Amino acid sequence: MQNLVWKKHPFRLLFYLELILLGIAVVAVLSPPMPHKFLRPWVETMMIFRPTVIFVLGLLAIMGLRSPLQSPNAPSPFGSRFFQGLYTAVGFGFSWLVILFAGKGIVVFPPLLLVVVIRGCLMFSWRGRVLTALFAYVSFIAMLIMSFLGIKPLGIPLGKPVIKRLLRTNSEEVAQTVLIHLTFNAALLFGLVLIFVLLLVGALLSEKQSRQELVSANKRLRQYALLIENQATLQERTRIAREMHDSVGHSLTAQSIQLENVAMFLRNNLEQASEHLQNARKLGKEALQNVRQSVATLRTHPLQGKKLDEAIAQLIEDICRNTGISIESEIYLYSSPTDEIATAIYRVVQEAFTNISKHSGAEKVRLRLKESMTDILLQIADNGQGFDPMENTTGFGLKGMRERVEALGGKFYLTSNPGKGCKIQIEIPR
C-alpha cells in the first residue's frame, strides 16, 4: 500500500479555478436577498450564522493549499485510501454546512461541490474520481429536491420554495410536471459540468504524467549515453594500445635489436654494421607509418566530405600502393547512404583491409558493395591463410566491426577456415 505525503497543489491553474469558485460562493453568501416577507426570518438567522459560514469557506480554501497525495517513499500512519477519503468527506461536509447555515443552495452549492470534485480527481484514480463525482451529483440532486420542496433542515430555506408557488397558481399535476422539468434541467446541466471537470483534470494529469515520464526517459538516456561514451572511449583506448603494441611496439623492439647489432659490429665489421643499420632505418619507417595509420583512424569524420564510393576507392589505392595486395572492387550505389551508414561501412572496410594486410598473407582481395531496395550489402573476401573463428574470439577489430553493423540494425557474417582465406559479409537496412 502506498503512503501519503502532503504536497502543494500540483496545478496552479486548477488552484486558481478553485479560488474563483470559492469566491463565487462567498459573493453569493454575502449578497443581500430580495426583500420578500418570507425571507425576513432567514435574514435574521443568516446574520447569526454568517461568521460561521465565512469561517467554513476559509477552511475549504486553506485545505486546497495542501493535499494528501500518494507517495511510495513518504511514511504515513494512515492508509492512503482512508486518509484521502476522510479528506474528501470533510470537503463534502463543509459544503453542506455552508448551505445549511447560509441557504442559497442553487447558487452556492455547485461551486463548492466542483471544488471538492477537482481535489478528489487529483488524489484518486479514475474509479475514485467517478465515485467522488457521483457523490457530488447525488448531493446536488438532494439539495435541489429539498430546495424546491421548501425543506428547512436548520430553519433556513435552501432556496425558494418553488413547489408552493406552483401550487398557488397551477394544479398539482402541472406543478409536478414543471418541477420535474426544472429538476431534470438543473441535474443535466450540473452533470455535464461534472463530466467536463473529470475530463479536464484527467487530461491535465495525463499530460503531467507523460511529461514526467519523458523527463525520466531523457534522464535515463543521458545516463546511457554517458555510459556508452565512456565505454566507447575505453574501447578506443584499448584498440589504440593494442595497435601500438602489435605494430609500433614490435617494430621498435626489432629496431632496438638491430641497433644493438650495429654497436656490436661497428668496430670489427663495418659491412655487417651497415646492413643492420639499414634494417633499423627500415623498421623505424614502418613504425612511423603505423603511427600515422593509427592517428588517421581517429579523425572525426573519416570520409572527409567524400562520397562513400570515392572514399573506398581512395582507401583501396592506398592499400594497394603500400602493401602490394591486388584488390578487385565492384561498387554499385544508386543513392547516397546516410552519414551513419556510410561511416560504418567505411570503418568496416578499413578494419578489414588492415587485418588482411597484417595477418592474412593474402595476395588477392575481392570487394563487392551493392545496394538493393531494402539493404546495403558488402562482401570482402581474400585468399589468405584464414583462421578458425571459434579459436579467435578476442579480436578487437572483428568485434568492433560486428558492433558497428549491429548498432545500425544490420547483420554481420564471418566465414573462414585455415588455409582457405576469409570472407566478411554485412547487410545494413537502408
Query: In this model, does residue 75 exceed pLDDT 50?
Result: no
Interval 188-233: pLDDT, tens: 888 888 888 888 888 888 888 888 888 888 888 888 877 787 777 7
pLDDT at position 142 over 90: no
- Residue keyed to cell 574501447: 235
Tell me the per-residue pLDDT of 309-339, one tens digit each, with 9 for 90 and over. 888 888 888 778 777 788 898 988 888 888 8
What's the pLDDT score for residue 395? 58
Q: Which of 66, 15, 406, 403 is nearest to 232 (CA)?
A: 403
pLDDT surpassing 50 at residue 74: no
More confident residue, 244 or 122: 122
Q: 385 or 166: which carries more pLDDT confidence? A: 385
The Cα–Cα gap between 121 and 64 comes to 13
C-alpha span between 288 and 247 (Å, rounded) = 10
pLDDT of 300 above 60: no
Give residue for cell 578506443: 236
SS in 3 state form for 349-400? HHHHHHHHHHHHCCCEEEEEEEECCCEEEEEEEECCCCCCCCCCCCCHHHHH
DSSP 32: P
Mean pLDDT on 344-358: 84
Residues 291-330 as b or e (16 or more Cβ within 10 Å = b): eebbeeeeeeebbeeeebeebbeebbeebeeeeebebebe
Q: How far is the C-alpha of 270 from the C-alpha of 23, rounded, in Å?
A: 109
Q: Give the HSE-up count for residue 171: Cα atoms under 13 Å, Cβ half-sphere.
A: 2
What is the C-alpha separation between 312 and 368, in angstroms, rounded?
11
d(CA 329, CA 422) in angstroms, rounded, equals 16
pLDDT at 290: 73
Predicted TM-score of the model (pTM): 0.48
Q: For residues 253-267, give the mean pLDDT.
A: 79
Q: What is the mean pLDDT of residues 89-94?
A: 87
Percent of the chain whose pLDDT exceeds 70: 76
> What digits encode the pLDDT tens for the residues 2-40?
455 556 666 777 888 888 888 888 887 777 654 544 444
Orientation angle between helical segments 12-30 and 40-63, nearest 10 degrees = 160
Q: How confident is the model at residue 78 (pLDDT cuts 50, 70, 90)?
A: very low
CA distance linking residue 233 with residue 229, whole number of Å: 6
280 contacts 262 by C-beta, under 8 angstroms:
yes
Q: Which helix (H) or strand (E) holds 427?
A: strand 422-429
Specify the pLDDT at position 134: 92
pLDDT above 90 for 256: no
Greatest mean pLDDT among 46-50, 129-133, 264-268, 285-289: 129-133
* pLDDT at residue 9 in the model: 65
Residues 33-69 have pLDDT tens digits of: 545 444 445 455 555 567 777 888 888 888 877 776 6
pLDDT of residue 377: 92
Q: What is the pLDDT of residue 367?
A: 92
Given this model, what pLDDT does residue 405 score? 86
Q: In the predicted model, is pLDDT for residue 175 greater than 90?
A: no
C-alpha count within 13 angstroms, C-beta hemisphere, residue 277: 11
pLDDT of residue 8: 64
N residues, the chain: 430
pLDDT at 38: 47
- Mean pLDDT score across all residues of the chain: 77
Whether 397 and 390 have beta carbons less than 8 Å apart is answered as no
What pLDDT is recorded for position 425? 93
DSSP, residue by residue, 64-96: TTEEEEEESSS--SS-HHHHHHHHHHHHHHHHH
Residue 141 has pLDDT above 50, yes or no: yes
The C-alpha cell at 27 is 459573493
Question: Of 309, 422, 418, 403, which is closest to residue 355 (Cα–Cα)?
Answer: 422
